[in-house]
Every structure is written in structure tokens, then in C-alpha cells.
Amino acid sequence: MSDANAPWLVVGLGNPGPDYAANRHNVGFMVADLLAERAGGTFKRAQKAQAQVLEGRIGPPGLGSRRVILAKPMSYMNLSGGPVTSLRDFYKVPLANIVAVHDELDIDYGMLRLKLGGGDNGHNGLKSMTKAMGPDYHRVRFGIGRPPGRMQVADFVLKDFSSAERKELGYFVDRAADAVECLVIDGLERAQSTYNS
């Protein structure tokens, strides 16, 4: 059981730079940006890690809110573990209070799955985090579906969402941000029963 007063570290996974901003692989950044907007703050470069961070609170004002550090590693996806570990150590965040928000190929577009621990399923950001810290952190998995035809996975995840997908993307990102808030405030079981689709 984690310390009720310990902060949470919510990490949106993605690749830095404008060329990647709208890629499927960057949906974690999109969710982190929306959570930052809701918290009324802006990301700043972290002093102790290769990441952009925002310290704030989520949840109802008063005793129901939780201290949260929102983060976007600026190291490229396959090196995410280094910045996340630095932030964990600097802010003294228990592993069970770390949430990775990431794209997931094996789930239909827009669907969510929340879980604690598990494998990386070939996701390089998770692979790097797990290598650095072990697997026992939370994941908010945002479905992007499988590549069409014979398209390579690497090409698919580094492409922007299609025009059809973009019509619903705002709604799905909003729902994923809701799921993160529910996880942090109400716990995994409540969040899973509400948002796992």
C-alpha cells in the first residue's frame, strides 16, 4: 500500500519535437498536455532530468486532491527510463505511484485499458522504463489498433492519426485524461471498472 501523502508521477510517453507531435506514438504526450491544461499550468524543463514537468494537483480541492508531477520525457521513446527514474528519485515517488500513459497496438483505436505491472508488449518506452525501475508501475494503455495491410509497426506508430481518427481523437484523449485522474484519486479498481473497454 502506498503512502497516501506521496506524490504521483504521471508520465506521458512520446518523442520530442514538432515532427512527431501528431504521431500515434505521441498520444501519451497529448494526454499529458490535456492534464496540464486542466491543472492550469504549463510544462517547464526539469532541472534534474531530461524531461518537461509540471507540478500541480488533480482532483477536487481540499483533502480529495492529490499532488501530481506530470512529465514528458525529452529523451526519445526508447530512452524514457532514464528521465523517469531521475524524476522518481528527485520527487521521491513510490513505484506504485507512477503512471505511464502510452499507445497500445493490441487494443482497438480509442479503447482504454488500465493495469498495474505486466510486460512491455514490444513498446520501447515501457521496455526502457521497466529496465530502469522494474515492471510494477501503472499503465494507461490507449488503443491505436494494428497497422493496415503489410505496413510495418514502426512506420504505423510514427505516422499521424488518420483524418477519420482525428475526428474522435479529442474525445478519446479527454477520456484517457479522465481515466488518469480517476486512477490517481479513486484507485485502480474503480478506474478499471469505469474506463476499461
**Is 25 marked active-site?**
yes
- Give me the DSSP letters along 79-135: GTHHHHHHHHHHHT--GGGEEEEEEETTS-TT-EEEEES---TT-HHHHHHHHHH-S
Contact 22, 94 (CB under 8 A): no
Contact 142, 134 (CB under 8 A): no
Enzyme catalytic residues: 25
